[in-house]
């Protein structure tokens, strides 16, 4: 699947300039789009330090220009110590902390500056960046939102806000902002990848499909592009077309992990069980411990009434991962058949916990309660089944991964 963000920072400031430029180098997403981010520093009249024997802002900025950041930080700390209400000194201290990648201290300095002077230029953007770089995506949203509110045309703030929403798993909001940023930079494939993933996980499948088409046009032989296109098509209910995309992905990269499972799951959804079994076994030849492939092979064995073959597969899957719903569900059904009711109840309760909105586990749990004479509990589960609408099978994107590619600042 797509690589994760892994940003690395470097700074430059030309002599005499009041603007520091933070360069974010992204080897995956955003390599082109976020390769320059401006962080504002703050100037005082040159007379400030001349009027005092103690070091002041002029000395601190001179040290910055010489690359002597540790010394510059100490000077800003002195300035702030003399006047804790000097918002500009606090903000510039935050800038130097950021240059040294001391992001918690930078965020603290920016927050203090913001409390003293909310209108200080660039302060919200700087604070958002300090939180973003720590992976505090939810905390980065309010300052980036404030920066965008102050300057609605600021594409940098909008893009960073969209990325923060993505990192916080708020995909619908991420897609809204990233779509605007992508339109402003239509050739940026990395940005489009993040937008496409946001649309996919927000279940905005038309948007995802369009973005993946654009990505695929630029790299038609990419296995990842075919997989992503297949995920979008499956989300739209076009599973046969999704199967074709996964088959193309396998042609391009037959040993890529998880792609055979994805194709097998699509066949399983369409009840093409022989084809599904072939793909699940192919996945296990690449990754013998693929829990999802083991679980679905166990499910196929159960469907063929091969309970002795199903149980070891299901248990092995759950040894690797405890959150595979179908394994708990199938084990519960098998244990019910074997009249091992306490163990069956435990397995089925876990299946309900993993997805309370699926009626099948409630129904099976009700049957077990009925068999054990607990009529009140049985009726409660059957009532829940009646409340629930029949739910479609999960799309392949959510089966292949519990979450989209994460941001790694």
Query: What whole-number distance in Å separates Cα of residue 37 and Cα of residue 405?
Result: 23
CA distance 67 to 300: 64
The confidence score (pLDDT) of residue 402 equals: 59
pLDDT at 15: 26
**Cβ(24)–Cβ(3) under 8 Å?**
no
> What is the biggest distance separating any 2 CA atoms in the chain, rounded to whole angstroms?
90
Query: Options 3.30.70.20, 3.30.110.40, 1.25.40.10, 3.30.360.10; which CATH number does 219-400 get?
Result: 1.25.40.10
Mean pLDDT for 67-92 is: 92
Model confidence at 9, pLDDT cuts 50, 70, 90, reads very low
- Classified by CATH at the fold level, domain 8-134 comes out as 1.25.40
What are 10's strand-pairing partners? Answer: 23
User: How big is the chain, counted in residues?
Assistant: 409
Q: How far is CA 38 from CA 4, 16, 154, 177, 329, in A?
A: 23, 16, 12, 19, 53
Cα–Cα distance measured from residue 328 to residue 349, given in angstroms and rounded to the nearest whole number = 9
Is residue 397 very low, low, confident or very high in pLDDT (cuts 50, 70, 90)? low
| 212, 244 Cβ separation under 8 angstroms | no
Q: How many CB atoms lie within 10 A of CB 341?
A: 15
User: What 3-state DSSP class applies to 276?
Assistant: helix
CA 368 to chain centre: 39
Question: Residue 401 — very low, low, confident or very high, per pLDDT cuts 50/70/90?
Answer: low
Give the percent of the chain with pLDDT over 90: 64
Mean pLDDT calculated for residue range 323-336 = 96
For residue 64, which of 50, 80, 53, 75 has the smallest C-alpha distance? 75
Confidence bin at 394 (pLDDT 50/70/90): low
- Give the model's confidence band at 21: pLDDT under 50 very low, under 70 low, under 90 confident, else very high: very low
Q: Is the pLDDT of residue 108 over 70?
A: yes
**Joined tokens for residue 194:** 């993040």
* CATH topology agreement for domains 8-134 and 219-400: yes
pLDDT attached to residue 398: 65
403 neighbors 272 (Cβ within 8 angstroms): no
Start-to-end C-alpha separation, the chain: 18
Q: How high is the pLDDT of residue 190?
A: 78
CB 144 within 8 A of CB 157: yes
115-150 pLDDT, tens digit each: 999 999 999 999 999 999 999 999 999 999 999 999
CB atoms within 10 A of CB 342: 10
Tokens representing 136 are: 């505090």
* pLDDT tens figures, 255-269: 999 999 999 999 999
Judge if pTM exceeds 0.75: no
Model pLDDT, residue 4 = 30
pLDDT over 50 at 248, yes or no: yes
Write down the pLDDT at residue 55: 81
Residues 30-53, mean pLDDT to the nearest whole number: 44
Least confident of 60-64, 94-98, 309-313, 377-381: 60-64
Residue 33 CB-half CA count within 13 A: 29
Asked if pLDDT for residue 359 goes beyond 50, the answer is yes
3-state secondary structure (DSSP) of residue 333: helix
The rounded mean pLDDT for the chain is 84
**What average pLDDT does the segment 62-91 reach?**
92
Confidence band for 221, pLDDT divided at 50, 70 and 90:
confident
Reference 32, options 196, 188, 214, 212; nearest CA is: 188
The residue ranges of every structural domain in the chain are 8-134, 219-400
pLDDT value, residue 392: 46
């Amino acid at each position: 699947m797509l690589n994760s963000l892994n940003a690395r920072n470097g700074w430059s400031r030309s002599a005499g300039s009041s603007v520091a430029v933070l360069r974010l180098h992204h080897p995956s997403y955003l390599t082109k789009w976020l390769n320059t981010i401006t962080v504002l520093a703050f100037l005082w009249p040159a007379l400030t330090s001349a009027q005092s024997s103690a070091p002041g802002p002029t000395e601190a900025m001179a040290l910055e220009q010489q690359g002597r950041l540790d010394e510059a930080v100490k000077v800003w700390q002195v300035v702030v110590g003399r006047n804790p209400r000097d918002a500009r000194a606090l903000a510039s201290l935050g800038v130097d902390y950021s240059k040294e990648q001391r992001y918690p201290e930078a965020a603290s300095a920016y927050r203090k500056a913001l409390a003293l002077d909310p209108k200080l230029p660039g302060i919200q953007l700087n604070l958002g960046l300090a939180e973003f770089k720590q992976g505090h995506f939810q905390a980065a949203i309010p300052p980036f939102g404030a920066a965008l509110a102050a300057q609605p045309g600021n594409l940098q703030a909008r893009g960073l806000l969209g990325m923060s929403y993505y990192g916080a798993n708020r995909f619908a909001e991420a897609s809204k902002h990233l779509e605007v940023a992508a339109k402003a930079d239509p050739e940026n494939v990395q940005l489009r990848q993040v937008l496409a993933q946001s649309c996919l996980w927000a279940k905005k499948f038309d948007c995802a499909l369009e973005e993946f088409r654009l990505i695929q046009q630029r790299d038609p032989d990419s296995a990842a592009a075919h997989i992503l296109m297949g995920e979008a098509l499956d989300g739209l209910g076009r599973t046969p077309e999704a199967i074709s995309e996964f088959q193309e992905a396998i042609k391009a990269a037959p040993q890529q992990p998880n792609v055979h499972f994805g194709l097998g799951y699509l066949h399983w959804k369409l009840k093409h069980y022989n084809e599904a079994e072939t793909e699940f076994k192919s996945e296990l030849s690449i990754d013998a411990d693929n829990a999802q492939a083991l679980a679905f092979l166990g499910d196929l064995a159960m469907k063929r009434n091969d309970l002795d073959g199903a149980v070891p597969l299901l248990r092995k899957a759950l040894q690797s991962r405890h959150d595979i719903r179908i394994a708990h569900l199938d084990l519960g059904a098998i244990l019910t058949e074997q009249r091992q009711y306490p163990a069956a109840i435990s397995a089925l309760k876990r299946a309900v916990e993993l997805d309370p909105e699926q009626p099948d586990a409630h129904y099976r749990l009700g049957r077990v309660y009925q068999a054990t004479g607990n009529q009140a509990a049985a009726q409660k589960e059957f009532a829940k089944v009646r409340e629930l609408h029949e739910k479609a099978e999960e799309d392949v994107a959510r089966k292949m991964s519990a979450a989209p590619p994460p941001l790694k600042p």
